[in-house]
Amino acid sequence: MAAKSDDEVARTRLEELRLDSNRIQELSDEELYTSDSNADYEDLGPAIPSEADNIVYVNRMMPIFDDLQTETSRAQQQTLDKILPYLEGNPSNFPLNSFGIPKLQREKHVKFLIQGLGDKPAAYTTLDAARPWQVYWCLAGLTVLGHDISDYQQKIIDTLTDVQHPEGGYGGGFGHLPHLAPTYAAILSLAMAGSSAAYESINRRTLWHYLGRMKQADGGFTMAVGGEEDIRGAFCVLVALSLLNLPLDLPPDAPARAQGMTTFLDKLDEWISRCQTYEGGISASPGCEAHGAYTFCGLGCLAIMGPPRETMNKYLDMPALIRWLSYRQGAPEGGYAGRTNKLVDGCYSHWIGGCWPLVEAAVDKNLWNRSALGRYILSAAQDEKGGLRDKPGMRPDAYHTCYNLAGLSAAQHNYKFDEKMTGDVGKGSFGAPFHWKGDGLFEGDKVWDEEDVVEEVHPVFVIPFEAAMACREYFEAKDGF
Amino acid sequence: MTKFYHDDPAWADIEPIPQDDTGHPLVAIAYTAEYSEAMGYLRAVMARNEHSERVLALTEHVIGINPAHYTVWLYRARTLEHLSIPPSDELRWLNPIALSHLKNYQIWNHRQAIVDRRDSCEGEADFIAQMLDQDAKNYHVWSYRQWMVERFGLWRDVGEVAFAEEMIGRDVRNNSAWNHRFFVLFGGRKKGQAGEGEEEGKEEEEKEKEKELVQREIEYAKQAIRQAPQSQSAWDYLRAVLRHAHLPISTIAGFANEYNDVSPPRSLHALEAQLEIYAEQNKVDEARSTLEALAEFDPVRKPYWTYRQKELVVA
């Protein structure tokens, strides 16, 4: 049958797209839709009271449109057409909470993420260079949902030890070259596994040497030897140095020493400043376009380099940054887009949503619309079969599940940075991230009930607080490597 | 199409290194026999640090199955250098791959290394344009173009400005194109770059030219705003040009007002500009009521507009 084969072609195309780990790394929104069951919300019946409220809300949130049609406005209109039914009604037939919004489908998402850690068919070969990422997204997502992951401890250690490179750092798979992206994912996963066996499985000495080889003469870091230099590199390096309590000094064999550099931080502050664009957001490297994921990486760096109030105000134009972040929130969607004039995408619930706790610690509270983001995540991003997605019409995956949930957490919780940096953990270099505390639930305008509330997430490391604290504490108590 | 190595005499000297997992790992992929074997041979040649023609073919094979495999790209780059393969040969091989994998990260880093070695960007602008025809906001492709501008000193290059203009002409909301325009025109000037040792007259001439450029860009942004007054890209560009030239926001007071004389305004960004003009002139009451209007017409950002009230008190 012709119709069926068309459907299959579309499915294959989607499968390719979904499985392409470049897409995962690319962190971009994608305009490709396909026919899947989520789009079949034909007969919705008469509006129920909560639905009527939602329609009023959506109409109130409608932005001012101008008339000119371009590729951008057409893509935006198509996206809106896909999303609106989910904001106004309940095409997935989820049970609703007391705000008339779909409840968090906790059990379904847990099941989806557990499957994400399991065996994959050959079609997943494009994920082969990103297996530690998949492990991280699933584990982080599970912990945000409050699911106990201790059963996975040994498997996490075994899986990641197999991809640790003898010369330091982690690769995407067995025998792959080391790279900062899998290194970042592996270290955070091992911190979540949380035991001396997990911590000791990390070869910190070779890792420190490896990280040193990434340092560049202009202050930034490459993602691999011979790889691209961008702000992810800086963030991945600082996360590793901070969580594992590694030395501030560059190792003696770091090539950047030939250019007179002595520490990991040399010229980095200045380099990060250069990544802030005329729009106010932060780009991959100086001169590129401001982008949500790179902005989170940049703010994450500054939050590791010192107290956010000091570092961010010193190296960034904060009013411009706040303005840019604010404008990324879509109306009426409520979710975030990664760049100006791009489409809303659930992963930016974290990449932009997760910037707010960092910014609020540096500037002021109550800067953003948490309930609008919560609405997007609960109403539009939850897939009826479990997992969360970019937007309606797209399939869920571990990446979007993790970052939608992390964004939901950012919306639901308050955090506080202890400016005096007191406490037992977090002395010494890169110690600032260990002076954050949960500061209770957000009690302002919201659209979630208690049972829709997810766990707190460490604003810099995006893993549970206890996991980050215990890991650092372990290595602070340890002498040498 | 399927290719195996175990029965290929050209590979008889290589003992493949199979994937050696501890127990049953997480996210275990049931690789095809073909991919598994090719990876086994790749690990083996990497272990002996072999860089040869057959390794090049092997990397091509693995890239064909999994183009997101950064290890293969990095090893291929090293092999090319060892074999002194002419950069133009590699580019010819690379072009169709780039066109069929638009979202790939690795290709662009690979291309950058090759073009850097070639020390010429001839033909690159055309190839990039071809890529952007298919995906007009592709972040990697634009970033690559920015690298090219910097590496080959194409600051204020006529072709680069014309290209940005063409892309903006096609879609005035293409923010990547606006970013490129700003980068090409204003990103390269570092303080003292032009000045030293030059005569007075020349410096004056430079200043005059700069003023003309700023004026031209202000007008350019304005005509773009007239087409799509609600698009943020041109407004942000306009604000950035003003800031670059140290001009006050009131420079565009009359222009902003064109979009504010009705309620709701035809452009929220014009209203925001109006807010800043009032703030600049210390008209606190007017600024405050403008903020209220912004919160009314842009309710999703109500917390933000409320936050900006504080800025007024301080001023």
| pLDDT band (50, 70, 90) for residue A372 | very high
* Mean of pLDDT over chain A: 92
pLDDT tens string B44-79: 999 999 999 999 999 999 999 999 999 999 999 999
Q: Are A339 and A292 in contact (CB under 8 A)?
A: yes
Q: Which residues of A touch B302 (CB under 8 A)?
A: 369
Which listed residue (A236, A297, A347, A402) is catalytic? A347
Does pLDDT of B313 surpass 80?
Answer: no
> Do residue B30 and residue A60 have CB atoms under 8 angstroms apart?
no
| pLDDT band (50, 70, 90) for residue A60 | very high
CA distance A163 to A178: 8
Q: What is the DSSP string of B30-85?
A: ---HHHHHHHHHHHHHHHTT--SHHHHHHHHHHHHH-TT-HHHHHHHHHHHHHHT-
The CA distance from A311 to the nearest CA of chain B, in Å, is 21
pLDDT tens string A237-293: 999 999 999 999 999 999 999 999 999 999 999 999 999 999 999 999 999 999 999
> Do residue B146 and residue A287 have CB atoms under 8 angstroms apart?
yes
Structural domain harbouring A451? 81-477
Q: Report the residue of B166, B300, B305, B308 to disrupt the A interface, i.e. the one with the largest count of A CBs within 10 Å.
A: B300
* Mean of pLDDT over chain B: 94
CA distance B219 to B300: 31
> Residue B199 has what pLDDT?
61
Q: How many CB atoms lie within 10 A of CB B2?
A: 6
Does pLDDT of A41 surpass 70?
Answer: no
Residue of A nearest to B155 (CA): A287
pLDDT tens string B107-146: 999 999 999 999 999 999 999 999 999 999 999 999 999 9
**Number of domains making up chain A:** 1
Q: Which residues of B touch A162 (CB under 8 A)?
A: 20-22, 25
pLDDT tens string A279-319: 999 999 999 999 999 999 999 999 999 999 999 999 999 99
Closest CA to B206 of B221, B191, B187, B184: B191
Does pLDDT of A29 surpass 50?
Answer: no
Q: Are B165 and B182 in contact (CB under 8 A)?
A: no
Q: Are A471 and A187 in contact (CB under 8 A)?
A: no
Q: Which residues of A touch B109 (CB under 8 A)?
A: 227-228
> Do residue B182 and residue A278 have CB atoms under 8 angstroms apart?
yes
Residue of B nearest to A175 (CA): B43
pLDDT tens string A74-97: 999 999 999 999 999 999 999 999
Instruction: Give the whole-number percent of chain A exceeding pLDDT 90.
Output: 88
The enclosing domain of A235 has a CATH number of: 1.50.10.20
Q: Which residues of B touch A334 (CB under 8 A)?
A: 300
Closest CB from B103, B175, B229 relative to A289:
B175
Active site includes B103? Answer: yes
Active site includes A345? Answer: yes
Residue with tokens 């309940």: A90
Residue of A nearest to B178 (CA): A289
Which secondary structure element, helix H or strand E, spans residue A136, and what is its range? helix A131-144
Q: Which residues of A touch B108 (CB under 8 A)?
A: 228
Residue of A nearest to B298 (CA): A63
Q: Which residues of A touch B23 (CB under 8 A)?
A: 155, 158
CA distance A187 to A293: 19
Q: Residue A62: inside a domain, yes or no?
A: no
pLDDT tens string A312-354: 999 999 999 999 999 999 999 999 999 999 999 999 999 999 9
Give the list of residues 6+ apart from residue A420 with CB closer than 8 angstroms, or none: none
Q: Residue A12: inside a domain, yes or no?
A: no
Q: Which residues of A touch B306 (CB under 8 A)?
A: 366
Find the length of chain B: 315
> Residue B198 has what pLDDT?
52
> Do residue B26 and residue A159 have CB atoms under 8 angstroms apart?
yes
Residue of B nearest to A134 (CA): B27
Does pLDDT of B203 surpass 80?
Answer: yes
**Looking at residues B265-273, what average pLDDT do you find?**
96
Q: Residue A191: inside a domain, yes or no?
A: yes
> Do residue A340 and residue B175 have CB atoms under 8 angstroms apart?
yes
Which listed residue (A339, A389, A413, A446) is catalytic? A339
Q: Residue A451: inside a domain, yes or no?
A: yes
Closest CB from A22, A134, A364 relative to B27:
A134
Does pLDDT of A417 surpass 60?
Answer: yes
Closest CB from B27, B136, B268 relative to A71:
B136
> Do residue B139 and residue A288 have CB atoms under 8 angstroms apart?
yes
> Do residue B70 and residue A129 have CB atoms under 8 angstroms apart?
yes
Closest CB from A64, A119, A279 relative to B28:
A119
Q: Are B69 and B62 in contact (CB under 8 A)?
A: yes
Active site includes A266? Answer: no
Q: Residue A467: inside a domain, yes or no?
A: yes
Q: Residue A10: inside a domain, yes or no?
A: no
> Do residue B306 and residue A278 have CB atoms under 8 angstroms apart?
no
Handedness of CA B52, B53, B58, B63 (dihedral sign): positive
Query: Which pairs from A197-202 meet CB under 8 Å and 24+ separation?
Result: A197/A153, A197/A154, A197/A157, A198/A153, A198/A156, A198/A157, A199/A471, A199/A474, A199/A475, A201/A157, A201/A160, A201/A161, A201/A164, A202/A164, A202/A244
CA distance B289 to B260: 13
Per-residue tokens: A50 = 């909560």
Per-residue tokens: B30 = 């049931």
Q: Are A152 and A139 in contact (CB under 8 A)?
A: yes
Closest CB from A65, A340, A369 relative to B300:
A369
**Is A221 strand, coil or helix?**
strand
Which secondary structure element, helix H or strand E, spans residue A436, and what is its range? strand A436-441
The CA distance from B216 to the nearest CA of chain A, in Å, is 18
Instruction: Give the whole-number percent of chain B exceeding pLDDT 90.
Output: 89
Q: Are B298 and B270 in contact (CB under 8 A)?
A: no
Q: Residue A298: inside a domain, yes or no?
A: yes
**Looking at residues A20-43, what average pLDDT do you find?**
40
CA distance B132 to B129: 5
The CA distance from A428 to the nearest CA of chain B, in Å, is 35
Find the length of chain A: 481
Residue of B nearest to A131 (CA): B27
> Do residue A341 and residue B69 have CB atoms under 8 angstroms apart?
no
Does pLDDT of A454 surpass 70?
Answer: yes
> Residue B161 has what pLDDT?
98
Closest CB from B25, B42, B140 relative to A155:
B25
Q: Are A408 and A454 in contact (CB under 8 A)?
A: yes
> Do residue B137 and residue A322 have CB atoms under 8 angstroms apart?
no
Does pLDDT of A16 surpass 50?
Answer: no
Q: Report the residue of B2, B19, B26, B78 to disrupt the A interface, i.e. the one with the largest count of A CBs within 10 Å.
A: B26
Q: Residue A292: inside a domain, yes or no?
A: yes
> Do residue B230 and residue A63 have CB atoms under 8 angstroms apart?
yes
> Do residue A61 and residue B267 have CB atoms under 8 angstroms apart?
no
Q: Report the residue of A30, A58, A72, A114 to disrupt the B interface, i.e. the one with the largest count of B CBs within 10 Å.
A: A72
Closest CA to A389 of B297, B302, A399: A399
Residue of A nearest to B32 (CA): A122
> Residue A31 has what pLDDT?
34
The CA distance from A239 to the nearest CA of chain B, in Å, is 22
Tell me the residue type at A133.
W
Give the list of residues 6+ apart from residue A54 with CB closer than 8 angstroms, or none: A87, A88, A89, A100, A101
pLDDT tens string A109-119: 999 999 999 99
> Do residue B71 and residue A65 have CB atoms under 8 angstroms apart?
no
Cα dist from B249 to B216, B277, B278, whole Å? 17, 6, 10
> Residue B103 has what pLDDT?
83
Closest CB from A72, A128, A172 relative to B171:
A72
Closest CB from A70, A118, A366 relative to B171:
A70
Interface contacts (A, B; CB < 8 Å): 253
Model ipTM value: 0.96
CA distance A430 to A239: 9
